[in-house]
Chain A
Amino acid sequence: MMQETMFIDPQRCIGCRSCVAACRECGTHKGYSMIFVDYLDRAETTATMPTICMHCNEPTCAQVCPADAIKQTEDGVVLSALKPRCLDCRNCVNACPFGVPKYNSAMHLQMKCDMCYDRTSEGLKPMCASVCPTGALTFGKYQDVVPLRRTKPVNVHVFGNQKVETKVFLMLPTDEEAVDVDGCGVFEGRLGVDPSIHESWIDTQVEETDKGNEF
């Protein structure tokens, strides 16, 4: 069983998108990147945030798949849809609370980060975590990584009434027990305001290159 997992420390992310470039080099989805890096609000800060699959313990994407195309390995890695089974329905794309799976129109296939299963199952590190200059993405064992950090590993995410536990840990600077997505402040203060007014064109650029839900 693979004991290692991914630790995401957004505080360290420098927005270099090395991870995005490296993910394209993975053996299983050559040329397509499964990771996204966003500016949080470029007008205010240079802060950026990488998004990979969180590898939910009970993956919503797999639960909503009518064709049972999305498999979870024994060690908790949620794989891309199996090509012969994928039905083009895109339920998974809409269901994932983290917005991770993307639909590849050319291949008629859902694709997502599979924690570089081709590499990690052979003892190598995932591409993105290998190259990440800062350790914003780190792959390793909990007992090896966590004692070295001054941040708190969190793998419980609260989306309204849904509580999602993940294999991947977010490293947070606070004493939070969980990431409360509804109340974390990211969306506060924006209600009633046209978001496009605040969004820098650089954010828009990233949206367009990284964030479409299709390849």
Chain B
Amino acid sequence: MSKVEYLDNIIDRFGPHLHDEPDGGWLSDRVIDKVVDTHCPYCGMQCGLKLLVEQDKVVGLEPRYDFPVNEGRLCPKGVTAYLQTHHPDRLEYPLIKRKGVFERASWDEALDLVVSKLRGLQEEYGKDAVAVYSGSSLTTEKTYLVGKFARVALGTRYIDYNGRLCMASAAAGNNKAFGIDRAANPWSDIPFAEVLIIAGANCAETFPIINGFLWKQRDNGGVWIVIDPRETPTARQGDIHLQLRPGTDAAVTNGILNVLINEKLIDQAFIDSRTNDWEATREVALKYTPDVASQISGVPAEKIVQAGMVYGRAKTGMIMHARGIEHHSNGTENVLSYINIVLATGKIGAKGRGYGTITGQGNGQGGREHGQKADQLPGYRSMLNPEHRKYVAGVWGIDESELPEAGVSAVEMFSKMRDGEIRGLLSICSNMMVSLPDTNKVRESLEALDFNVCIDFFMSEAARYADVVLPGTTWAEDEGTTTSGEGRVIKINKAIKPPGEARRDWDMLQDIAHRLGRGKYFTFSSPEDIFDELRLASKGGKADYYGISYEKIERQNGVFWPCPSEESEGTPRLFEEKFAHDDGKARFHAIEYKGAAEQPDDKYPLVFTSGRIVHQYLSGNQTRRIGFLVQQCPEPFVEIHPETAMKYQINDGERIKVISRRGEGVFPALVVNTIRRDTIFIPYHWGEQLAANQITNAALDPTSKIPEFKACAARIEKIHSRELPILGKGRKGRSASEVQRGK
């Protein structure tokens, strides 16, 4: 059991501290030894960029104009990403916690301890007593290796990853409707759509570079319909904004479908020839007249009609969505209800006609394809399918009976820790103390563990709870592939050596496997070596990477999967002729509106929702250490409508308490007209007492097991503090550690 006893001490040693200039300062007379073409480590756009290297140090960046997705463009995270590399907070040697304090250890000592503890727990309580929790910011090679490591080296069924918090609903919806989980079109199709529906996606802040494509579409005369509870920059720039109550998407989509049916704007020929199960969906949609949909969602009926008419009448159109519709206890249904609109109008399978999801994590797509999900094996094969199990066991050289069963999803894994069923944890590249809902419960889970080992390159809020922390590498110190939100496999290139004694994550995992006596299954000498096995393991699967090679990625500036053979150039656009279900047809799903698991009531009258800002990436473990990014937004805030603020006598900037049934936090109020009167919003990138996830609800979607981050009941209290946010008092921002300690 490991508690965090000396938080100040940890923060002083490991940060977050701010780092804001290249090593050696901003010099104009640098002699650059090499320029490395690579990609941004953050979101699913995976923008191309060049790193400038001087004497094995990354000292700057240069836009990379030759990568077709971003053509030089970068958001502020991308511009400053290189500052991660020689950051004073970097973990450079293994750490073992003794009497609550992290002490430097040698690799041998640390790994021996890890292996003896994990093995001891497995001997005493069975193989499944140890769990693995991973992340989708890892390269695909690493995610593949983590999956194999859990099943072959540890033999545990409990493995899951933080993609469960990200795109699990999109994946589940796509699989149910289309039979495959990938964006249907490349981003380059966007400018050719007459109309775009952008739902629950604050593209401007979460996926900035896609805006280039969106504006090309606009320049071509296109229209944007934005569906979002907040007037985000994307919603503001859109032509029609449906500002719905959080969690009521299925009512709006059924309302739109109702308009499409009544106005005869559906494509009956497409429905007949290429889809199944339309009738039941049609019947449900007929119940949701614009008035009914309006009553549920709070969107004026005329706007629902307008949206239906505009999308329906257009010859081409695309729908894109993100976490706003997916982070719900009915997230999968929300996704399916949007796909119903796509299918009913036949707007899919061609240039400018399509569908896509917006990926939060850098490798959100690749990370979910190759076996770090509780129920999946490489190539999107299923843990539950005997044929699939047999094939992958064959590639791995083990007997099928040795493969564990499917495990459980992320949030469920953490409740098993509290129950004592899971006693040891190995986590890699994931900051559960910020990213999981209901963080007070997550803390209990981590504190309940007998042994906890964490691999990361910065001391994250979750790593503080570990018994052993192993220093890994940043994206600039290793190579490998990731798969961007459009399904394009790209290559991250190595620019510099890992610092100090830090080791590449895959090399470290292999070392542990060797020490566990399973070395013969882990003999990879490079990421490319791992990739070659991954190609084979995915061969014939839905996510078929067999025909992709590092050389082909380089040559083509990325390869879209599926790419089943060496001759294939990959598949940028899906569904041109058929869908991926066995009969080649897509499926409609009749979706009734159900609403959030927790509805506002007298005690908790407001709807709380969470999301992101452009200057931070996910749990902030990487970005809360970059001076420029922190300065732009040093702490979270709570957006509140002026009328609601008036009711509670709250002034702009005043600190208020936000409370739900699970926890509470104090945040400065940002009084803005851009949010609904019944809704409040906090960005979630911070930890400890600044965590929005103290408030959120861990209710799960039954299919995707995604938590309901985007809607729960909350109340606010004025705390009679006249203190304004520190920045209002004339200081130029606080260090992240000051913020962390609430100073």
Contact = CB atoms under 8 A, between A and B. Distances in A.
A204 B204 contact: no
A12 B724 CA distance: 31
Contacts of B628: 20-21, 24
Contacts of A43: 642, 652, 671-673
Contact of A134 (B215, B615, B728): B215
B670 interface: yes
B650 to A, nearest CB: 13
B212 interface: yes
Interface in B637-674: 637, 642, 652-653, 668, 670-674
Contact of A18 (B28, B78, B672, B674): B78
A204 to B, nearest CB: 5
Given A43-B652, A45-B674, A133 B208 contact: yes
Nearest to B671: A43
B728 A204 contact: yes
B72 A12 contact: no
Name the residue in B26, B61, B79, B674 with the highest tally of chain A Cβ atoms < 10 Å from its Cβ.
B79
B219 A200 contact: no
B204 A209 contact: no
A17 interface: yes
Contacts of A87: none
B725 interface: yes
Contact of A12 (B78, B215, B637): B215
B532 interface: no
B74 A18 contact: yes
B733 interface: yes
B208 A16 contact: yes
B193 to A, nearest CB: 16
B76, B231, B732 — most chain A CB neighbours (10 Å): B76
Given A131-B72, A204-B727, A30 B28 contact: yes
Interface in B189-234: 204-205, 208-209, 211-212, 215, 218-219, 221, 231-234
Interface string A116-128: 0000000001010
Contacts, number: 140
A133 B670 contact: no
Contact of B212 (A16, A47, A133, A201): A133
Contacts of B88: none
A135 B65 CA distance: 14
B632 interface: yes
B208 A45 contact: no
Interface string A26-45: 01101100000000001111
Interface residues of A, number: 41
B51 to A, nearest CB: 12
A89 B128 CA distance: 73
B672 A24 contact: no
A20 B233 contact: no
Contacts of A47: 233, 236
Place the interface of chain B in its size category: 35 or more
Contact of A46 (B65, B632, B642, B674): B674
B78, B221, B668, B724 interface centre (most CB from chain A within 10 Å): B78
A209 B632 contact: yes
Contact of B219 (A22, A31, A150): A150
A42 B72 CA distance: 29
A199 to B, nearest CB: 9
Contacts of A67: none
Interface string B463-486: 000000000000000000000000
B212 A11 contact: no
Contact of B231 (A46, A127, A150): A46
Contacts of B234: 14
A14 B672 contact: no
Interface string B108-144: 0000000000000000000000000000000000000
A46 B26 CA distance: 32
A133 B73 contact: yes
A205 B28 contact: no
Interface string B700-743: 00000000000000000000000011011010110000000000
Nearest to A48: B233
A25 B632 contact: no
A31 B672 contact: no
Given A14-B205, A16-B204, A149-B219, A205 B79 contact: no
Contacts of A127: 63
B727 A21 contact: no
A140 interface: no
B25 interface: yes
Contacts of A150: 218-219, 221
Interface string B77-117: 01110000000000000000000000000000000000000
B527 interface: no
Contact of B236 (A21, A28, A46, A135): A46
A202 interface: yes
B733 A27 contact: no
B733 A14 contact: no
B231 to A, nearest CB: 6
A44 B673 contact: yes
Given A17-B632, A202-B670, A31 B231 contact: no
A97 interface: no
Of listed A14, A24, A44, A127, residue having the most chain B CB within 10 A: A14
| Minimum-distance CB pairs A-B, first 10 | A30-B26, A31-B26, A201-B653, A14-B204, A133-B208, A21-B79, A130-B63, A205-B727, A134-B211, A14-B233
Interface of B: 21, 25-28, 60-61, 63, 65, 72-76, 78-80, 204-205, 208-209, 211-212, 215, 218-219, 221, 231-234, 236-237, 614-615, 628, 631-632, 637, 642, 652-653, 668, 670-674, 724-725, 727-728, 730, 732-733
Given A31-B26, A125-B63, A209-B631, 12 more contacts: A16-B205, A21-B628, A25-B60, A27-B28, A28-B28, A46-B674, A134-B204, A134-B215, A150-B218, A200-B653, A201-B670, A205-B733
22 contacts: A15-B614, A16-B75, A17-B76, A17-B614, A17-B615, A18-B73, A18-B76, A21-B76, A24-B628, A42-B670, A46-B233, A125-B72, A133-B208, A133-B209, A200-B652, A200-B672, A201-B724, A202-B670, A205-B727, A205-B733, A208-B727, A209-B631
